[in-house]
């Protein structure tokens, strides 16, 4: 009888361990970002390209992962979070679930997320597609195949993001990962500035 009780106790302990592991695994992305310092607004490097606060963001044209041509100026009239990332970047991985949730909640609010993949710095199209599928990303993924746009936007450390108002002007440059709360605060700032 004692062997049977010990066996049942072991099974019960294993079930509990598996249940706890499943809960923690489902929160993995949030835990990853919680262990990292969030990004912060940084000063702009001197440039003639219009990246200073209040200046019109430099326009560019790229092809999205879906093969569609897009220009940054196509999004004039919307607040834009312009994000630069790569698949191998742990802070980028931690940030993406927050970005997707933010994007889903902002549908219909004149807010857009453009997540520019630094393709020249990445591991190939198959890895990029796998990454997008893994995180169920629905926002546009422009592909910076030549690396020109990442250089233009000084994405020397990733993730790097720009907050662009509805007139196309740069408000903030953030180096490091953002969470949903940060993104909401930036959009609230844009909305309050328009009131």
The rounded distance, in Å, linking the Cα atoms of 179 and 173 is 15
Which tokens sit at 177?
Answer: 């990962």
The rounded distance, in Å, linking the Cα atoms of 149 and 155 is 9
The rounded distance, in Å, linking the Cα atoms of 44 and 109 is 28
- Show me where the domains of the chain are located: 2-30, 36-194
Residue-wise pLDDT for 14-59, tens only, equals 556 554 555 555 455 445 555 556 776 766 555 556 688 899 999 9
3-state percent helix, strand, coil for the chain, nearest multiple of 5? 45, 20, 35
pTM above 0.85, yes or no: no
Q: How many residues does the chain have?
A: 195
Residue-wise pLDDT for 113-162, tens only, equals 999 999 998 999 999 999 999 999 999 999 999 999 999 999 999 999 99
The rounded distance, in Å, linking the Cα atoms of 42 and 40 is 6
Fold of 36-194: Glutaredoxin (3.40.30)
């Amino acid at each position: 009888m004692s062997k049977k009780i010990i066996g049942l106790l072991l099974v019960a302990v294993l079930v509990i361990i598996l249940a706890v592991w499943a809960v923690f695994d489902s929160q993995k992305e949030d835990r990853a970002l919680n262990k990292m310092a969030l990004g912060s607004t940084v000063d702009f490097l001197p440039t003639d390209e219009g990246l200073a606060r209040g200046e019109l963001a430099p326009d560019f044209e790229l092809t999205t992962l879906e093969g569609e041509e897009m220009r940054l100026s196509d999004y004039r009239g919307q607040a834009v979070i312009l994000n630069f990332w790569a698949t191998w970047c742990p802070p980028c991985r931690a940030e993406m679930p927050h970005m997707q949730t933010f994007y889903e909640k902002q549908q219909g609010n004149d807010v857009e997320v453009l997540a520019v993949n630094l393709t020249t710095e990445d591991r190939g199209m198959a890895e990029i597609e796998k990454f997008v599928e893994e995180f169920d990303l629905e926002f546009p993924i422009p592909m910076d195949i030549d690396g020109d746009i990442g250089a233009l936007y000084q994405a020397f450390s990733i993730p790097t993001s720009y907050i662009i108002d509805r007139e196309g002007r740069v408000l903030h440059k953030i180096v490091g990962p953002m969470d949903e709360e940060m993104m909401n605060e930036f959009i609230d700032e844009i909305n309050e500035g328009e009131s």
